[in-house]
Amino acid sequence: MIINNICCIGAGYVGGPTMAVIALKCPEINVTIVDKDQNKIDRWNGPFDNLPVYEPGLAEIVEKTRDKNLFFSSDIDLAIQKAEIIFMAVNTPTKKYGKGAGMAADLSHIEACAKRIARVSKNDKIVVEKSTLPVRTAEKIKEILKRESNGISFEVISNPEFLAEGTAINDLFKSDRVLIGGEQTLSGIKAVKSLVSIYEKWIPKEKILETNVWSSELSKLASNAMLAQRISSINSLSALCEKTGADIDELSKAIGMDRRIGSDFLKTSVGFGGSCFKKDILNLVYICKSYGLDEVADYWHQVYHINNYQKNRFARQIIDLKKKRNISSVAILGWAFKKNTNDSRESASINVTKILLNDNLKVFIYDPMVSRNNIINDLKNINSETNIENEIIDSNVFIENSLLDAIEKVDVAAILTEWDEFTKFDWKNYLDNTDKNLNIFDGRNIIDIEHKNIFKLGK
């Protein structure tokens, strides 16, 4: 099939960057990204310094392609009708209600997309699962497409996304692999080839992996679970280091130099955040349980438990200091779940801050990229491990405009995001020249000086 038009439903962290890169690499294809959120579409069509997703290099690509072969629109039906390939890049959060609530993936957005595609399509289409989905979701999507449409043929392909936020553009330009899962039928094979022909424009052929649909769907969940497992493994060892005199950074280096283990994803932290690791692990646990694999489910569940343990452990260390010294305020340095993104979904900062607020501490928060509104919304959102009264948030939370503004006002500073600005800050000079007795809890081990007032993880 010759591809002239692509539609992507979902203009979020995945839909925006992935489609911008496809538009850049395939100038002959018109790419239209649609979303039901009009405000988001308006921002994608607005000033380049205010796009709804911040990723290094993204604004430049959007500037080159927008209104040439990259379009942002809220006319979802028209974009579906024109496209030969439709990507579904909508959110798949943890279910809040019904069967599997708190564990399983909420597929309502995916199902709504499938229904809409079925209802409005006037000719055959290739439907691509870009969202992260439970294994065997393609079966359900096919059922919906068949039931809701009028004799039109749909091929459903799995093509999960592996980009990480903050490095999305580089990850898309130089993907470790592109995974495409399709059915072993004539039309399935043809559909896979159409998708391969797009990625081939910039991804070396040997990095484009063709598998069956279920392997592709499950590989995505398994990859995230294994990445998160490495972080929980190293974080669990950070607690043991603190008891034994071993040093977690030395440990990470020593372990990671074994080629069979590798050095990535062994950096200890206050706990992993982000929109996906937690939800994908819980989803994997739920899937295992639903197949009666309780031991397998328990194994993966532990990755999630250790992450909560690490976040709580970090907050408790600050509260323990409060018992020894009179402290009333803490600076939270960093709100994003990692550096170089404005995304704060499931950031460890949220949980740590709530625990501190519950212990009557005032918090002064500074993040170079996350907006005040986002921070307050994160704290007021009741769907997290710890909840606090809105009145406490209104009276005890202060959003600051700079690192110095924040630390000047407090007894304790806690580094939660590894922003370069915090790494490069001259902590020694500050501590040597201040009259304050400032204690620093480095939840990322980014400060490279030793000082009696600096607490680091796993040391």
Q: Catalytic residue numbers?
A: 276
267 binds, among ligand NAD, ligand UGA, none (CB under 5 to 8 A by kind): ligand UGA
222 binds, among ligand UGA, ligand NAD, none (CB under 5 to 8 A by kind): none
CB closer to ligand UGA, 216 vs 269: 269
CB closer to ligand NAD, 165 vs 249: 165
272 binds, among ligand NAD, ligand UGA, none (CB under 5 to 8 A by kind): ligand UGA
Rounded to whole angstroms, how far apart are CA atoms 159 and 136? 13
Binding to ligand NAD in span 66-125, by CB under 6 A: 76, 89-92, 109, 112-113
CB closer to ligand UGA, 84 vs 161: 161
CA pseudo-torsion sign 343, 349, 350, 351 = positive
Query: Could you say which of 8, 15, 230, 431 contacts ligand NAD (CB under 6 A)?
Result: 15
Pairing assessment for the beta strands 439-442 and 178-181 based on DSSP bridges:
unpaired
CA distances from 190 to 126, 156, 212 (A): 10, 12, 14
Cβ partners under 8 Å of residue 379, min gap 6:
350, 353, 354, 357, 388, 393, 397
Rounded to whole angstroms, how far apart are CA atoms 228 and 239? 17
Rounded to whole angstroms, how far apart are CA atoms 50 and 44? 8
Q: Considering the rule CB under 6 A, would residue 242 count as an interface residue with ligand NAD? A: no
One symbol per residue from 148 to 187: x for binding ligand UGA (CB under 6 A), - otherwise; what is it? -------------xxxxx----------------------
Instruction: Yes or no: say if 134 and 222 are a contact pair by the CB < 8 Å rule.
Output: no
For residue 33, list its beta bridge partners: 8, 72
Residue showing the smallest CB distance to ligand NAD in the complex: 12
Q: Considering the rule CB under 6 A, would residue 231 count as an interface residue with ligand UGA? A: yes
One symbol per residue from 292 to 331: x for binding ligand UGA (CB under 6 A), - otherwise; what is it? ----------------------------------------
Q: Considering the rule CB under 6 A, would residue 70 count as an interface residue with ligand UGA? A: no
Binding to ligand NAD in span 383-422, by CB under 6 A: none
What are the tokens at 150?
A: 């009028």
Q: Considering the rule CB under 6 A, would residue 446 count as an interface residue with ligand UGA? A: no
DSSP assigned state of 194: H
Q: Considering the rule CB under 6 A, would residue 37 count as an interface residue with ligand NAD? A: yes
Instruction: Yes or no: say if 288 and 214 are a contact pair by the CB < 8 Å rule.
Output: no
CB closer to ligand UGA, 52 vs 188: 52
CB closer to ligand UGA, 265 vs 398: 265
CB closer to ligand NAD, 129 vs 442: 129
Query: Could you say which of 127, 276, 431, 454 contacts ligand NAD (CB under 6 A)?
Result: 276
Where does this chain touch ligand UGA (CB under 6 A) — which range of 67-75, 90-98, 272-280, 359-367? 272-280
List helix spans (H) across 69-132.
76-82, 108-120
CA distances from 433 to 366, 379, 430 (A): 22, 34, 5
Query: Could you say which of 7, 62, 83, 266 contacts ligand UGA (CB under 6 A)?
Result: 266
State the DSSP H helix or E strand holding residue 398, giving kind and residue range, or none if neither. strand 397-399
Query: Could you say which of 238, 269, 340, 439 contacts ligand UGA (CB under 6 A)?
Result: 269
Where does this chain touch ligand NAD (CB under 6 A) — which range of 35-43, 117-125, 251-259, 368-376? 35-43
CA distances from 403 to 54, 166, 344 (A): 21, 21, 18
DSSP per-residue codes, 22-53: HHHH-TTSEEEEE-S-HHHHHHHTS-GGG-SS
CA-only gyration radius of the chain, Å = 23
* CB of residue 420 to ligand UGA, shortest distance in Å: 14
Instruction: Yes or no: say if 400 and 366 are a contact pair by the CB < 8 Å rule.
Output: yes
* CB of residue 132 to ligand NAD, shortest distance in Å: 4
DSSP assigned state of 149: S
Helix, strand, coil % in the chain, rounded to nearest 5: 45, 15, 40
Instruction: Yes or no: say if 175 and 146 are a contact pair by the CB < 8 Å rule.
Output: no
Binding residue count for ligand NAD, defined by CB under 6 A: 26
* Residues making contact with ligand NAD (CB under 6 A): 9-15, 35-37, 40, 76, 89-92, 109, 112-113, 131-132, 161, 163, 165, 275-276
* Residues making contact with ligand UGA (CB under 6 A): 132, 161-165, 224, 227, 231, 265-267, 269, 272-274, 276-277, 337-338
